[in-house]
Structure 1
């Protein structure tokens, strides 16, 4: 069971920090294949590079990551198992806060960061049962099963999709709350069918030209034009260009 022993491993500030590192390393490659570098990890965590270097050394010594000087960081099987356990906690808590406590999807990340280290396995299992064993959180990120199992659909980021590509929205990144609020204002939600259209005044391809934007055709036929950073937060199931 992935959940087993998480609280024991997470007791103390050092283990809590280790969990945050592992979760961030895993999340970086969850929807794209390029492994994270120490510099990128420092930026994601908002820490000094020297602090990240020291922690990565400790994680490597504990057998949780594989890292060599000047190389990217990769999780070992043990590190991945622990990362999945924490992601399960985090995403179940986010789902619970939205479904039963009235939180907005742009508000839950920081709250879940605190609660994921405090809940017992028993309470987490009760929350999972209460929610009907959800398979994804409010942003579309997949919730690993109790055994760490996860099935990810083939998907492409909207700002990288070719004009004419069609697909269902499967993920809305929660890294930028302002971007989530803009998507909510537009009414773009999980499972909605979108088609990538040429953006007016920005060339024939998404993301081309100065001040690039991405246009999408909605199921209603309406055309919306998204800023590039907002489009980069949307993931579609890989469709076939028309």
Structure 2
């Protein structure tokens, strides 16, 4: 393998760690445990420890890491994580709106491309799209200045009552689940009627004004977030 290709792979790995810490730390940027990071990335705990030590010991540290206390992003690490996240979500939006990619395919394509686009290319994509604030999954797109609007939303799995709610966002981590949700009409902005909770901890739901109800598994419900202001529960920002 060429040194340049190896460097690219190292850079991709670093970016993926920073994005994972950003996602798991939430809006409050809580410290993230190595176990949670290992589960999220599908990486062995020993590899997690080695990488975090390297990131913390870099000339410009990207994380603040203490064994047994977890990890959080440094200021430099957070800037890079938000930059890569902006690339990812702009690319997803471009693929979906301009190139007509199916929504279940855009995440994987964006994962490949997000590390390599230039600032000029990023600016051209944003201008072409009209500087969007939300990607096709309903997630906020960070600004060029590294700021990201908080989305007050609640997981469907936290809902304990019947009612009609607006879908805020859907997870992009599993293409098969995303394809199934799309086929059922579940997408950002759609109105979801929760009819009842099922014995298997799932939900009987319908979409919009349709009277056709269908079962939604607990796992799939965990990929759906609802607008919090419509719900008498404490919102959580993503």
Q: Report the TM range for the smaller structure's normalisation.
A: 0.7 to 0.9
DSSP-derived class of the 2:101 partner? coil
Native 8 Å contact 1:162 1:196 kept in 2 = no
C-alpha distance after superposition, 1:47-89 (max 9, x if no partner): 2221111110111123221221122221122211110000000
Matched, 1:228 2:218: yes
Contact 1:165 1:240 in 2 (8 A): no
Q: CA deviation at 1:235?
A: 0.2
State the SS of the aligned residue for 2:197.
coil
Name the CA distance, whole Å, in 2 between partners of 1:233 and 1:73.
Answer: 25
- In 1, Cα distance between the equivalents of 2:105 and 2:155? 23
Q: Could you say what the CA RMSD is over the residues aligned between the two structures, in angstroms?
A: 2.0
Counterpart position of 1:17? 13
Question: Structure 2 matches for 1:1-242, cutoff 5 A?
Answer: 12-30=8-26, 35-62=31-58, 63-164=61-162, 166-200=164-198, 202=199, 211-220=200-209, 222=211, 223-238=213-228, 239-240=230-231
Q: TM-score if structure 2 supplies the norm length?
A: 0.85
Describe the superposition over 1:2-58 as per-residue Cα deviations: whole angstroms up to 9, x where unpaired: xxxxxxxxx633232111110111122347976432122122222222111111011
Cα pair distance change 1:224/1:31, threshold 3 Å: farther
Task: Give how far 1:233 is off.
Answer: 0.4
Q: Over residues 85-117 of structure 1, what are the superposed CA-to-partner deviations in whole Å (9 max), with x where a residue is unaligned?
A: 000001101111111112111111221111112
Q: Secondary structure at the match of 1:163?
A: coil
Runs of at least 5 residues in structure 2 that lack an aligned partner in the other structure: 1-6, 233-238
Q: Which runs of 5+ in 1 are unaligned?
A: 1-10, 203-210
| CA distance 1:166–1:31, shift in 2 (3 Å) | farther
CA distance in structure 1 between the aligned counterparts of 2:106 and 2:27, rounded to whole angstroms: 21
